[in-house]
């Protein structure tokens, strides 16, 4: 592990005010510390933010929630309001990682975890995220669990978070504090598609810190679900997932929120599918057709075309489940 | 022979070292407190083939060893132990340098950033069935003929009214015991002390002695507790040599614990296999021709030929038979033993092909097997010392609830789940190896048994205690077994499911000699008796049954029930036996559904080299795994009447699951692991 300095901060202003070049924030450390051991992350300074007062879940007027960036995944999943009003979020969290990891991992850190692309986690191989221009061996090599949407010739990585997929479906907003002040970014716009700068995972600028995530009120999110398909029953990243909330009346879709996981470098909000579903019949056929509308843009590689079928089927079965919920 | 009241043997006694293990008091190799110890980290080759020209230096290190400066060591049979002796790079992940530093973190970082000058050459990493480099090895592991023929396979197969000709593939599988390989090496003058995680302390001592030009007794290997091995710790591995070499160079004790990532290339893995199985049968299911061929790989450095189709020589009757093996040498790491080498992959091919034959015949797969039960070893004609395969099939079917199963697939559905059942046979040879044991009566009337064996988590220490207690007519609390130390009487390797039989024989002999002589110490060497034994015709048998459900939308496979019914001689301890059976069945589930070294041919590397990406079953995958056994008596084995049980659980259990997936879905996935992408692509 590269030698680093360690400093702990207790207020947000000093955390972002004195954030040196080559520094990284340390929250739960469940991803960062692994990457430091592997030599993928080599910060000069770790700024420990675990003592910042960001551990609360506040109820907002009108029914939304403000989730502190330091709230642990376990605590968020177990929160009574999350479980009753946003079950998709609770389910997504509980489908991620293991009990021990969820006890450490934070809301902000979960959003910023890095891809599990097997070339990215190995410094003996080329990767445009390590070193722009070094190449992407995944396109010809192992990409069974990499992107089918929004990828570029430079990078086909996927974002591994389950939680972020639920937050994307719920129109959540990320609250950010930085050296230049505060700003808000929708979760759907936090992560970048790779384009020709795959080394940049997100739109965060140097020294910016996620302080909270706001989930706006959405009455019909009480009827929501997260369905994750994976290669074993637990403790595995998704090979495809769907977050959905559905409002049905008399067999007709009044409104819907839909997002896909493990298909792109960001949680993939399925706006086209949502559009196709609104005011249509709540049947398996129309659910499949809506999924197809979203997946027309899919560009699978040699070994991941199954994801198109998988996501299509997951959309149908998840929405069917919500119709009868 | 002494008549013995067996009060301890056969009892479900808990592991003697269990409390020490679960409380963290048991000491594993890397945990010994050794004064002034320093840390080593292996620099692994980033290329699959080439020449190492030079290695740079690194600040903050005690030493950077490579072939340009490493001490010369003696050549031994295993060329993988000739570490840092040559500029040739034989595979990606090979140890090409070693960094030593006063902290683990500093050693690791230096190994990551140190400069390597390498002349890289084009490499060949991909095994294919028509690879031009295929050849037939002289023997397959450990010393079987690579090819066997009986009758006229080609003619019989051509004439058979019903035939199956299928190809099954198993991927590279990687040994990942809970405790990775680890060594602390220290020199006491010219004597070498190794705290080393291994399956054979006397063997490691002898080999390290050869490497460093020392007699075996000048090397002291301590392996009191070992967190599994599966065969990958059966002989000294490069970590032991590297640690000892580094300790010599820096003049301080050196600790080298392999990181999980290094387990995939440095300790031996199960070769991928490309199998072709041809079965010819009469319309009533009587087999007339059995053909089983396998193409496998080894490294450029060492020929290891997995005996994949040897198991087919023992299973079913048929007058016309052919088995064969071909090997391809690639720029890939050296494959070695992994739990049931040969039997585990071979029975995937054979038992899935038998299921396909049963489908064609419209015959129950159990009935098909019963109709082809041989009266003696099908190839050698040697009688079986005991064989209760049919009894396992029948009793297992009864307990599992097989009766009334539809022959046709995809007929059961509950909600979104497609449900199916499958079965497959199991077998493993009952082996025994020479060993020596010593027993002493201490002044307080207790007994101390000593044997240089290794308990790799199987319960060996407990079973040997039970055996000695009965032979000496003492309660188990009055017997203490010492093992895991090369200075104790020489024991055979903890491998080939032969530990209990081999060490138990030596311990039994020592106890009987003690009682006969009336002295308070006796030593017994089983070598002469073991060598006189007929080795053919001695096998354990069993049957595996699986019920699976497959999500019709996602293709996710879950194993609802996995059941093993065994006939494996006398079961010495039902508690530790059950643990071995269901542990191996769980590993079989991993082989069927999860485990795969994913090869990137362009880099010559398995890219999923950690336990986040190389999947093994987790607790949530285990819904019901149960084992049962018949009370089998066999007096031709050893004084205990036991057969080995450490490996049979992984033989056939993968095929039972694969066959159940077919029964659930109607899809035959013939390249393992059976995963959702393959089912979806096949049109689930």
Residue B6 banded pLDDT, cuts 50, 70, 90: low
Specify whether the backbone of A267 is left (phi greater than 0), alpha (psi in -120 to 50) or beta: beta
Of A1, A144, A304, the CB nearest to B108: A1
Whether the CB of A306 is below 8 Å from some CB of chain B: the reply is: yes
| Chain B nearest CA to A285, separation (Å) | 14
CB contact set of B468 (below 8 Å; sequence gap of 6+) = B439, B447, B449, B474, B479, B481, B507, B511
Give the one of A3, A37, A316 whose C-beta lies nearest to B553's C-beta.
A316
| Average pLDDT, rounded, for chain B | 97
Task: Note whether A239 and A304 are within 8 A (CB).
Answer: no
Burial of B260 (0-12, 13-18, 19+ CB in 10 A): middle
Chain A closest-CA separation from residue B621 CA (Å): 5
The DSSP result for B107-154, as a single string, is: HHHHHHH--EEEEE--------TT-TT-B--S-BTTTB-S-EEES-HH
Cβ(A198)–Cβ(A115) below 8 Å: no
CA distance B590 to chain A (A): 10
Distance from A2 to chain B by nearest Cα, in Å? 6
Q: Which residues of A touch B611 (CB under 8 A)?
A: none
Measured distance CA(B527)–CA(B437) in Å, rounded: 11
Residues of B in contact with A318 (CB under 8 A): none
User: For residues B182 and B197, is the Cβ–Cβ distance under 8 A?
Assistant: yes
- Partners of residue B620 in chain A, C-beta under 8 Å: 232-235
C-alpha–C-alpha distance, residues B288 and B561, integer Å: 34
The answer to whether the CB of B308 falls within 8 A of the CB of B325 is yes
- With a cut of 50, say whether residue A223 has pLDDT above it: yes
Q: Tell me the C-alpha distance between A45 and B529, whole Å.
A: 67
Interface contact flag, A229 B113, Cβ < 8 Å:
no
Cβ distance A3 to B109 less than 8 Å, yes or no, reads: yes
Sequence spans of domains, chain B: 18-26+432-531, 35-122+178-228+233-266, 148-173+270-430+536-681
How far is the C-alpha of A278 from the C-alpha of B188, rounded, in Å?
79
Cβ A233–B553 below 8 Å, yes or no?
no
Give whole-number Cα distances, B376 to B314, B381, B426, in Å. Answer: 9, 5, 17
CB nearest to A1's CB, from B109, B610, B677:
B109
Q: Distance between CA B69 and CA B247 in Å, rounded?
A: 14
Asked whether the beta carbons of residue B603 and residue A141 sit closer than 8 angstroms, the reply is yes
3-state secondary structure of B311: coil
Instruction: Compute the distance between CA of residue B100 and CA of residue A204 in angstroms, rounded to an integer.
Output: 39
Tokens of B263: 């387990």
Output the furthest CA–CA distance in chain A (Å, rounded): 63
Residue from the list B44, B558, B598 with its beta carbon closest to the beta carbon of A233:
B558
β-pair partners for A55: none
Q: How far is B595 from chain A (nearest CA, A)?
A: 10
Task: Give the domain B18-26+432-531 fold.
Answer: Aldehyde Oxidoreductase; domain 4 (3.30.365)
Would you tell me how many other CB atoms lie within 10 Å of the CB of residue B641?
A: 18
Q: Check CB contact under 8 Å for A310 and B109.
A: no
Is the preceding omega at residue A254 within 30 degrees of 0, hence cis?
Answer: no
d(CA B631, CA B457): 24
A302 touching chain B per CB within 8 A = no
- CB of A240 less than 8 A from some CB of B: yes
CATH (residue range B148-173+270-430+536-681): 3.30.365.10
Q: Give the residue from chain A lying closest to B619, CA to CA.
A: A234
pLDDT of res. A17: 87
Q: How far apart are CA B233 and CA B218, in angstroms?
A: 21
Could you give the CA distance from residue B265 to residue B260 in angstroms, rounded to a whole number?
10
Q: Tell me the chain B residues in contact with residue A142 when contact means C-beta distances shorter than 8 Å.
A: 598, 600, 607-608
Contact B554 A310 (CB under 8 A): yes
Are residues A304 and A146 in contact, defined by beta-carbon separation less than 8 angstroms? yes
CA distance B684 to chain A (A): 10
Distance between CA atoms of A151 and B415, rounded to whole angstroms? 36
For the cut 80, the answer to whether the pLDDT of residue B31 exceeds it is: yes
The rounded distance, in Å, linking the Cα atoms of A254 and B684 is 32
- Per residue in A277-302, pLDDT (tens digit) is 999 999 999 999 999 999 999 999 99
The single residue of B343, B359, B595, B647 carrying the catalytic annotation is B647
Domains of chain A: 5-48 (3.30.43), 224-323 (3.30.390.50)
Contacts for B409 with CB less than 8 Å, ≥ 6 apart: B420, B662, B663, B664, B665, B666
- State whether B602 and A233 contact (CB < 8 Å): no
Instruction: List pLDDT tens digits, range B45-79.
Output: 999 999 999 999 999 999 999 999 999 999 999 99
Residue B647 annotated in active site = yes
Q: How confident is the model at residue A20 (pLDDT cuts 50, 70, 90)?
A: very high
B571-615 per-position pLDDT tens digit:
999 999 999 999 999 999 999 999 999 999 999 999 999 999 999
> Mean pLDDT throughout A225-241?
98
- The 8-class DSSP code of residue B356 comes to H
Q: Compare CB distances from B553 to A235, A303, A317 and report the shortest one's residue.
A: A317
Confidence class of residue A325 from pLDDT cuts 50, 70 and 90? confident
Residues of chain A with C-beta less than 8 angstroms from the C-beta of B609:
122
CB pairs under 8 A between A and B: 98
In this prediction, residue B278 carries a pLDDT of 98
> What are the backbone dihedrals phi and psi of residue B373, each rounded to the nearest 5 degrees, phi first?
-75, 125
- Position B663 scores a pLDDT of 98
Model pLDDT for residues B265-289, shown as the tens digit of each residue: 999 999 999 999 999 999 999 999 9
How far from chain centre, in Å, is Cα B556? Answer: 28
* CATH pick for B35-122+178-228+233-266 out of 1.10.260.40, 3.40.50.920, 3.40.50.720, 3.30.365.10: 3.30.365.10
Interhelix angle B574-593/B343-361, rounded to 10 degrees, is: 70
pLDDT for B5 equals 57
CA terminus-to-terminus distance, chain A: 50
pLDDT tier at B3, thresholds 50, 70, 90: very low
pLDDT digits (tens, 9 = 90+) for A183-198: 999 999 999 999 999 9
Domains B18-26+432-531 and B148-173+270-430+536-681 share a fold: yes
Q: Please indicate if any CB of chain B lies within 8 Å of the CB of A309.
A: yes
Global pTM reads 0.98
Query: Which residues of chain A make contact with B610, given a CB cutoff of 8 A?
Result: 121
pLDDT digits (tens, 9 = 90+) for B476-500: 999 999 999 999 999 999 999 999 9
Euclidean distance between CA atoms A147 and A267, whole angstroms: 11
SS (H, E, C) chain A: CCCCEEEECCCHHHHHHCCCCCEEEECCCCCHHHHHHHCCCCCCEEEECCCCCCCCEEECCCCCEEEECCCEHHHHHHCHHHHHHCHHHHHHHHCCCCHHHHHHCEHHHHHCCCCCCCCCCCCCCCCCCCCCCCCCCCCCCCCCCCCCCCCECCECCCCCCCHHHHHHHCCCEEEEEECCEEEEEEHHHCECCCCCCCCCCECCCCCCEEEEEEECCCHHHHCEEEEEECCCCCCCCCCEEEEEEEEEECCEEEEEEEEEECCCCCCEECHHHHHHHCCCECCHHHHHHHHHHHHCCCCCCCCCCHHHHHHHHHHHHHHHHHHCC
For the segment B506-521, the average pLDDT, to the nearest whole number, is 97
Residues of A within 8 A of B612 (CB-CB) are 116, 237
Q: What is the CA radius of gyration of chain B?
A: 25
Q: How far apart are the first and last CA of chain B?
A: 62
pLDDT digits (tens, 9 = 90+) for B549-582: 999 999 999 999 999 999 999 999 999 999 999 9
What H or E segment, with its residue span, contains residue B178? none
The chain B residue lying nearest A136, using CA atoms, is B602
Burial of B569 (0-12, 13-18, 19+ CB in 10 A): buried
- Partners of B556 on chain A (C-beta within 8 Å) are 229-230
| Tokens read off for A113 | 């975890």
β-strands B50-55, B116-120: how paired? Answer: antiparallel
Q: What share of chain B is helix, strand, coil (3-state, %, to 5)?
A: 25, 25, 45
Please give the pLDDT value at position B1. 39
Q: How far is B610 from chain A (nearest CA, A)?
A: 10
- B260 CB neighbours in chain A (<8 A) are none
What whole-number percentage of chain A has pLDDT above 70? 100
Taking an 8 Å cut-off on Cβ atoms, the answer to whether A231 and B615 are in contact is yes
What are the strands, taking DSSP E only, across B507-593?
521-525, 539-551, 557-567
Query: Is A310 close to B598, i.e. CB distance below 8 A?
Result: no
Alpha-carbon distances of B41 from A319, B61, B189, B258, B397, rounded to whole Å: 51, 11, 24, 8, 52
Six-digit token pair at A20? Answer: 């040196």
Instruction: Please check whether residue A281 touches B, CB under 8 A.
Output: no
Q: Pull the structure tokens for residue B671.
A: 């390249």
């Amino acid at each position: 592990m590269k030698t680093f300095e360690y400093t702990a901060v207790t207020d947000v202003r000093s955390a972002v005010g004195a954030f040196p070049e080559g520094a990284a924030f340390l929250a739960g450390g469940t991803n960062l510390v692994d990457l430091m051991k592997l030599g993928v992350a080599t910060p000069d300074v770790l700024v420990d933010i675990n003592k910042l007062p960001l551990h609360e879940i506040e109820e907002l007027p009108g029914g939304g929630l403000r989730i502190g960036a330091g709230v642990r995944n376990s605590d968020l999943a177990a929160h009574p309001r999350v479980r009753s009003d946003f079950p998709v979020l609770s389910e997504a969290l509980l489908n991620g990682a293991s009990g021990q990891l969820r006890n450490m991992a934070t809301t902000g850190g979960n959003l910023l975890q890095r891809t599990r692309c097997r070339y990215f986690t190995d410094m003996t191989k080329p990767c445009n995220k390590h070193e722009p221009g070094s190449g992407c061996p995944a396109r010809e090599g192992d990409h069974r669990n990499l992107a089918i949407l929004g990828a570029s010739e430079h990078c086909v990585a996927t974002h591994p978070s389950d939680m972020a997929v639920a937050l994307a479906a719920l129109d959540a907003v990320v609250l950010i504090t930085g050296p230049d002040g505060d700003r808000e970014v929708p979760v759907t716009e936090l992560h970048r598609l790779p384009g020709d700068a795959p080394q940049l995972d997100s739109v965060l600028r140097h020294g910016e810190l996620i302080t909270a995530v706001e989930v706006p009120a959405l009455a019909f999110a009480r009827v929501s679900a997260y369905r994750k398909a994976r290669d074993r029953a637990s403790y595995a990243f998704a090979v495809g997932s769907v977050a959905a909330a559905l409002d049905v009346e008399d067999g007709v879709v009044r409104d819907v929120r839909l997002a896909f996981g493990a298909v792109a470098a960001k949680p993939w909000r399925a706006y086209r599918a949502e559009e196709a579903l609104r005011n249509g019949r709540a049947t398996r056929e129309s659910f499949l057709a809506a999924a197809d509308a979203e997946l027309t843009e899919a560009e699978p590689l040699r070994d991941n075309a199954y994801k198109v079928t998988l996501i299509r089927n997951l959309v149908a079965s998840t929405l069917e489940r919500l119709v009868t919920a | 022979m002494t008549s013995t009241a067996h009060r301890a043997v056969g009892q479900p006694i808990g592991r003697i070292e269990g409390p020490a293990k679960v409380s963290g008091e048991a000491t594993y190799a890397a945990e010994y407190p050794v004064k002034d110890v320093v840390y080593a980290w292996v620099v692994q080759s980033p290329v699959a083939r080439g020449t190492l020209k030079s290695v740079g230096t690194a600040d903050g290190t005690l030493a950077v060893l490579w072939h340009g400066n490493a001490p010369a060591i003696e050549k031994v049979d295993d060329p993988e132990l000739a570490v840092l002796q040559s500029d040739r790079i034989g595979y990606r992940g090979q140890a090409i340098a070693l960094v030593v530093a006063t902290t683990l973190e500093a050693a690791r970082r230096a190994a990551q950033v140190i400069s390597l000058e390498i002349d890289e050459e084009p490499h060949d990493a991909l095994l294919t069935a028509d690879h031009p480099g295929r050849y037939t090895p002289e023997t397959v592991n450990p010393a079987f003929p690579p090819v066997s023929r009986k009758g006229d396979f080609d003619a019989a197969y051509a004439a058979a009214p019903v035939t199956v000709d299928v190809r099954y593939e198993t991927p590279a599988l990687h040994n990942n015991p809970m405790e990775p390989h680890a060594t602390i090496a220290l020199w006491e003058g010219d004597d070498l002390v190794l705290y080393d995680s291994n399956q054979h302390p006397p063997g490691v001592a002898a080999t390290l002695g050869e490497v460093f030009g020392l007699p075996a007794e000048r090397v002291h290997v301590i392996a009191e507790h070992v967190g599994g091995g599966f065969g990958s710790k059966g002989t000294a591995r490069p970590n032991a040599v590297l640690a000892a070499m580094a300790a010599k160079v820096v003049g301080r004790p050196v600790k080298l614990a392999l990181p999980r990532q290094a387990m995939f290339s440095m300790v031996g893995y199960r070769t991928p296999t490309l199998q072709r199985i041809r079965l010819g049968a009469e319309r009533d299911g009587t087999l007339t021709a059995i053909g089983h061929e396998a193409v496998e790989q080894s490294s450029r450095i060492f020929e290891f030929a997995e005996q994949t189709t040897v198991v087919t020589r023992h299973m079913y009757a048929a007058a016309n038979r052919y088995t064969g093996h071909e090997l391809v040498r690639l720029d890939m790491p050296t494959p070695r033993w992994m739990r049931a080498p040969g039997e585990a992959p071979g029975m995937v091919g054979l038992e899935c092909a038998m299921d396909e034959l049963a489908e064609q015949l419209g015959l129950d797969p159990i009935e098909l097997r019963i109709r082809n039960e041989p009266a003696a070893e099908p190839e050698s004609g040697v009688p079986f010392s005991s064989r209760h395969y049919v009894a396992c099939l029948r009793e297992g079917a009864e307990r599992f609830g097989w009766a009334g199963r539809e022959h046709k697939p995809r007929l059961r559905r509950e909600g979104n789940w497609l449900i199916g059942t499958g079965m497959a046979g199991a077998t493993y040879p009952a082996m025994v190896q020479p060993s020596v044991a010593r027993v002493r009566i201490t002044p307080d009337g207790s007994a101390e048994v000593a044997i240089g064996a290794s308990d790799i988590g199987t319960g060996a220490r407990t079973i040997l205690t039970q055996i000695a207690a009965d032979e000496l007519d003492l309660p188990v609390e009055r017997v203490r077994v010492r093992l895991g130390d090369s200075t104790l009487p020489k024991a055979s390797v903890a491998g080939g499911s032969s530990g209990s039989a081999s060490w138990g024989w030596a311990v039994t002999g020592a106890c009987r000699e003690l009682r006969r002589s009336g002295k308070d110490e006796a030593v017994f060497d089983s070598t002469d008796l073991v060598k006189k034994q007929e080795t053919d015709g001695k096998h354990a048998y069993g049957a595996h049954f699986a019920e699976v459900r497959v999500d019709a939308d996602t293709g996710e496979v879950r194993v609802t029930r996995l059941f093993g019914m065994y006939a494996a001689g006398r079961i010495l301890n039902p508690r530790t036996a059950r643990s071995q059976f269901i542990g191996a069945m769980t590993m079989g589930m991993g082989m069927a559904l999860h485990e795969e070294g994913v090869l990137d041919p362009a880099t010559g590397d398995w890219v999923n080299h950690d336990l986040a990406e190389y999947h093994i079953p987790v607790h949530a995958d285990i819904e019901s795994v149960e084992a049962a056994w018949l009370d089998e008596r066999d007096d031709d084995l050893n004084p205990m009447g036991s057969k080995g049980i450490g490996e049979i659980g992984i033989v056939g259990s993968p095929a039972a699951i694969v066959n159940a997936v077919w029964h659930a879905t109607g899809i035959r996935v013939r390249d393992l692991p059976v995963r959702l992408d393959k089912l979806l692509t096949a049109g689930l």
